Amino acid sequence: MKTDYVTWKTSLRRIAEHMILAITHLFLFFIIFITIFLNIELSDPEIKTDPAMPIPAGSAVTLTCLLYRTYADIYFEWDCIQHKNVIGPTMYQDNFTYSTFVIWNLNLTHVDETCTCYVNVENITSNYSIQLGISGIPIIKTEKEIRCNSTSLPTMSCLIRTELKSYGFHEWLHVFNGIPVQTLNGSTENKKSILKLRSCSYEDAGEYTCVAWNIYDGIYYSANTTVTLLVNVSPVIISSRIFRERTIIFSALFYSASETRCIWQQSNRSLINSSQVIQTIETRTIDVPFYNVTIKCEGYMANMSISFPTGKYELLLQNAFGESRYYFDGGMIRSTDVIHIVGPHERCPTIPIYHSAPAFPSVPHVYDTPETGYLEVVDDTFELYDYSEVENKEEDSQNAMSINIEGDYEEIE
């Protein structure tokens, strides 16, 4: 019996020794596994730059050192250019731990400089280095958007940031609806190109592109930026006509950059739709002159159909920035006449009334210089009245008129 007890005790001791040995091996295996895991995590940190390399000279750059996230504390240290032993802040996002470091004014003297990120986890260290690549492309800044109206002349500027001695600006390019309109020379002051426009009309609206350049290491670099000019002006009548179908129809094509109200009047009294008078307005694509370029734009056609026209009729167009007026003379129409009205220029048919002060007197403006002219008959098919002695007693400005049996619109020249 005693022998069995000794045997059982010996067996129990051996089992305990084996269990202790197994636990020790398991613990050592766990330590080795954790060490290997940490070494794997630390073996591949990464540095990213914003903006991406090559970095434009003169800009600020943010360097970010990324590491896969672990349960242990991670410490970052930076050695970059003249900044050594800088402890970057530790942040977390998704499965990464990261640290950022900012260089505020990266210039051409920093070409091929080395930036190193050191990582320490439980006294296990790793590091990653990059060489800074710097580009000679200039940095330019300008306004994103500006506005003007009939009393203010727009001015825009373009600033170049460069350390190079050889730099400059090209002409400004004016574009509307993606179509080039004109090129303009700006004045240069220090490192800035300044463009001052001589007017603020619908023709000046659009995008203005500034192009700056410099030369670095014998290589030409350029960059550009765009300013959008929004013009706050009254509607512009592009062309008009009078023609006969079953009734006499007064018609005008006009352009406006904002919502427009259309009112037909006679003797300062508004006309309303009836069996004798029908007014319509619709949107359509029209040809709009922008300096020496004609561009298709979204415009409007305003019509008034009247059975028995008498006297003069006024088309009043109003938007948020002002109003424009156009006059039709219905008293000159005989039963056999088909009259096509063509104004000599938008200055003649359009007589705007602004809600603000008048434009600067020394600046010719498309809206504030109405011209006068007698009506001119150019059709010898019909016998018409002599327009040359007709006076416009209601308005000082009189639209130039011509006779044409064709139904198409003609632009105001």
**Does CATH place domain 139-232 in 3.30.530.20?**
no
3-state secondary structure (DSSP) of residue 5: helix
Q: Give the DSSP H/E element, type plus range, for residue 56.
A: strand 55-56
pLDDT for the residue numbered 2? 52
Overall average pLDDT of the 85-90 stretch:
77
Summarised one tens digit per residue, pLDDT across range 343-384 is: 434 444 444 444 444 444 444 444 443 443 333 333 333 333
pLDDT at 253 exceeding the cut of 70: yes
- Taking only Cα atoms into account, the Rg of the chain, rounded to an integer number of angstroms, comes to 40
pLDDT, the chain, mean = 77
pLDDT of residue 107: 80
Question: DSSP readout, 236-267?
Answer: EEEEEEEEESSSEEEEEEEE-SS--EEEEEET
Question: Quick one: CA dihedral 17, 23, 26, 27, positive or negative?
Answer: negative
Q: Note the pLDDT of residue 9.
A: 64
Higher pLDDT pick, 349 / 172: 172
Q: What percent of the chain has pLDDT over 90?
A: 38
Please indicate whether the domains covering 46-135 and 139-232 agree at the CATH topology level: yes
The lowest-confidence range among 107-111, 172-176, 276-280 is 107-111
Span 160-185, average pLDDT = 93
Q: Which residue spans within 177-292 are E strands per DSSP?
A: 179-184, 187-189, 192-196, 206-216, 219-232, 236-244, 248-255, 261-266, 269-270, 277-290
Of 33-42, 122-131, 139-148, 310-319, which range is least confident? 33-42
* pLDDT(392) > 60: no
Question: Locate tokens 């670095």: which residue?
Answer: 216
User: What pairing do the DSSP bridges indicate for beta strands 61-68 and 139-142?
Assistant: unpaired
DSSP 111: T
pLDDT band at 6 (very low <50, low <70, confident <90, very high): low
Query: What does the buried/exposed string (b/e) look like for 251-265 if buried means 16 or more CB atoms within 10 Å of the residue's CB?
Result: bbbbbbbeebebebe
As a whole number of angstroms, the distance between CA 194 and CA 158 comes to: 7
354/396 Cα distance (integer angstroms) = 18
* Residues forming a β-bridge with 130: 115
Which pLDDT score, from 0 to 100, does residue 211 have?
96
Q: Tell me how far apart the alpha carbons of residues 62 and 50 are, in angstroms, rounded to a whole number.
A: 5
Which H or E run contains 75?
A: strand 75-80
Maximum pairwise Cα distance, the chain:
151
Token pair recorded at residue 354: 């602004």
Query: Measured between alpha carbons, how far is residue 73 from residues 6, 48, 92, 168, 211 in Å?
Result: 52, 22, 12, 52, 50
CA distance 41 to 44: 7
Could you please state the CATH topology (level 3) that the domain comprising 46-135 is classified under.
Immunoglobulin-like (2.60.40)
pLDDT above 60: residue 263: yes
Confidence of residue 120 (pLDDT cuts 50, 70, 90): confident
Identify residue 401 by its one-letter amino acid code: M
**Residues 106-127, mean pLDDT to the nearest whole number:** 85
pLDDT at 8: 63
Q: Which residue has the higher pLDDT, 135 or 405?
A: 135
| Closest CA relative to residue 237, chosen from 355, 333, 318 | 318
pTM for this predicted structure: 0.63
Taking alpha carbons only, the member of 251, 249, 223, 224 closest to residue 237 is: 251
Highest mean predicted confidence (pLDDT) among 92-96, 107-111, 141-145: 141-145
Please, what CATH class does the domain formed by 236-403 belong to? mainly beta
State residue 396's pLDDT score.
40
Domain range summary for the chain, segments of one domain joined by +:
46-135, 139-232, 236-403
* pLDDT value of residue 41: 47
* Per-residue model confidence (pLDDT) at position 236: 95
Per-residue pLDDT at 394 exceeds 90: no
Asked which of 38-52, 67-81, 273-287 is least confident by mean pLDDT, the reply is 38-52
Question: If pLDDT is split at 50, 70 and 90, which confidence band does 40 have?
Answer: very low
pLDDT of residue 355: 43
169: left (phi over 0), alpha (psi -120 to 50) or beta: beta
Pair of tokens at residue 238: 């592009």
Task: Return the structure tokens found at 332.
Answer: 């000159």
More reliable by pLDDT, 370 or 43: 43
Three-class DSSP category at 382: coil
* Contact by Cβ (8 Å): 162, 272: no
- What value does the mean pLDDT take over residues 229-247? 92
pLDDT of residue 244: 85
